Amino acid sequence: MAPANGSTPLAQTPAEKLNLIKNNLQEVLNPEIIDKVVNENERPLRIYWGTATTGKPHCGYFVPMLKIAEFLAAGCEVKILLADVHGFLDNLKAPIELVAERVKYYKFVITEALKAVNVDISRLVFVIGSDYQTTGESGARFFMDLLRLSTSVSGHDASKAGSEVVKQVDSPPLSSQLYPLMQALDEEYLGVDAQFGGVDQRKIFTLAVETLPRIGFEKRAHLMNPLIPGLQEGGKMSSSDPDSKIDFLDQPDIVRRKLKKAFCPPKQVEGNGVLSFVEYVLLPASALKNDGTPRFQVSRRDAETLTYSNIADMQKDYADDVLQPQTLKPAVTDALLEILTPIRKVFEENKAWQEVEQKAYPPPPAPEKKKKVKNLGTRFLDVKEGEKAAATNGSVEAKADGHVEGPSAQEVSVGKTTEEAMRRLSIGKKS
């Protein structure tokens, strides 16, 4: 049965539901947990997907969002965790100073992006991490359970679990080891049967399966979507590399420029970010608008239009040079802009969203003109260095991936005192 809005047809039987839930995933851990709930058909399967509110979300987020659409079509209850506390645990990617605004920004973006690909969000629930991780009775219980879990996990295993997710540095803060432990506990506190995420989360998922039973909690199933390559050669789409990804709010000329220069060599399918974007975003998105039938068209100047309903045919034509970069890129650009245009329109008409965007991701200050320094001799050196330190003290600069740098970065990121950190996260003001 196809719903009136043309989105993914709703699954009716347990077999149809399981097919939708597991479709287009790279791996599923402990699938028997999912099978049991769906086959018993006594209640909906409960799933959560979490995202740390750090850098600006980009079009790579369409991959999990389109999978969430299938979960909803399978009758699942889906929670989206806006993991604000995780943001600064991950090497201070999200300063407390900006966390609350970034949570609002993520909710705006994710909501409108799901609407843009025709997803019914009426059964979707947003949860903010700090609401239960740090607040009231649940916060106290969460902290105690975090301490209990920390006694059964070695530092080595915690570091290993977060190695593909948490930012890696030469001297990592202890918070990078807390990150995967908290993510494991989220499964218990959100009351779900399964956690969904990218395949880069696999080590954290494995840690959760192995360790939660040690403190009396049940293990969960884990569903993993593949990671799509970035637009540049090598690597994945990343907020820290502007040329590797396209932001949801990028202007059309920027979208065209990024796709025009994207890595897309003729006849090369492996590692081709443009083809992968079609496979994991544009084909599934087209299915939501065509009663479950994917369709992607490529216009050619001197030949008939190519129409694809599956990626295998498209990859074969690309490898055989029937489909070429000079025709593929414009087709991808047009299809993506069709999705992004309504998101951009809502943003341009929504003053509240615009204000949140400015607060969440303040632009870096304009560079100051350097005055020519007179050489006054060595006896003035200490005075000048002191003035320089005074002038820069308290300043920070926001980077593209969301973190800040500067003399006061630590203070901005986690607060100068416990009371200040709690106030910035609005902890204690929530019921």
358 falls within a domain: no
331, 349, 367: which is the final residue of a domain? 349
- Among 316, 349, 382, residue at a domain's last position: 349
Closest CA to 58 of 259, 239, 225: 239
Domain assignment present for residue 395? The answer is no
Looking at the fold, whether 149 and 246 belong to one and the same domain comes out as: no
Residue 49 scores a pLDDT above 90? yes
CATH number at residue 312: 1.10.240.10
> By three-state DSSP, how is residue 8 classified?
coil
Q: What is the pLDDT of residue 428?
A: 46
Residues 80-86 have a mean pLDDT of 93
Q: Looking at the structure, do residues 94 and 198 belong to the same domain, yes or no?
A: yes
Whether residue 216 is found in the same domain as residue 295: no
pLDDT score of 327: 96
Q: Return the bridge partners of 236, or none.
A: 229
Examine residue 374 and state whether it is found in any structural domain, yes or no.
no
- Do residue 263 and residue 343 come from a single domain? yes
137 belongs to a structural domain: yes
Do residue 314 and residue 254 come from a single domain? yes
Does 229 have pLDDT greater than 90?
A: no
The predicted pLDDT at position 409 comes to: 64
Beta bridge partners of 225: 198
Domain final residue pick, 225, 255, 279: 225
Is 127 part of any domain?
A: yes
Residue 233 lies in a domain: no
Show the tokens assigned to 420. 């200040």
pLDDT in tens, 178-187: 999 999 999 9
Same domain for 127 and 180, yes or no, is: yes
Q: How far apart are CA 126 and CA 104, in angstroms?
A: 11
In a domain, 396, yes or no: no
Q: Tell the residue number behind the tokens 């970034």, with chain if given.
A: 102
Q: Give 134-143's long-range contacts (Cβ < 8 A, gap of 24+).
A: 134/85, 134/422, 134/425, 134/427, 135/427, 135/428, 135/430, 136/430, 136/431, 138/189, 139/427, 142/185, 142/189
Quick check: 340 pLDDT over 50? yes
pLDDT at 238 over 70: no
Residue 336 and residue 288 share a domain:
yes
Same structural domain for residues 221 and 253? Answer: no
Tens digit of each residue's pLDDT (9 = 90 or more) over 138-178: 999 999 999 999 999 999 999 998 888 877 667 777 888 89
**Average pLDDT along the chain:** 84
Q: What is the mean pLDDT of residues 95-102?
A: 82
Q: Is residue 263 part of a domain?
A: yes
Do both 306 and 259 map to the same domain? Answer: yes
Identify which has the larger pLDDT, 95 or 278. Answer: 278
User: Do residues 20 and 70 make contact, with C-beta atoms less than 8 angstroms apart?
Assistant: yes
Per DSSP, the three-state class of 43 is coil
> Is the same domain home to 217 and 255?
no
Q: How confident is the model at residue 407 (pLDDT cuts 50, 70, 90)?
A: low
pLDDT bucket at 10, cuts 50 / 70 / 90: confident
CATH code for the domain in which residue 216 is found: 3.40.50.620
Higher-scoring residue by pLDDT: 130, 404 = 130
How many domains does the structure of the chain reveal?
Answer: 2
Q: Given a cut of 90, is residue 258 above it in pLDDT?
A: yes
Residue 5, pLDDT score: 45
pLDDT digits (tens, 9 = 90+) for 281-335: 999 999 888 878 899 999 998 889 999 999 999 999 999 999 999 999 999 999 9
Are 211 and 180 contained in the same domain? Answer: yes
Residues 317 and 200 in one domain: no
For 117, the domain range is 14-225
Q: Note whether 205 and 180 are within 8 A (CB).
A: no
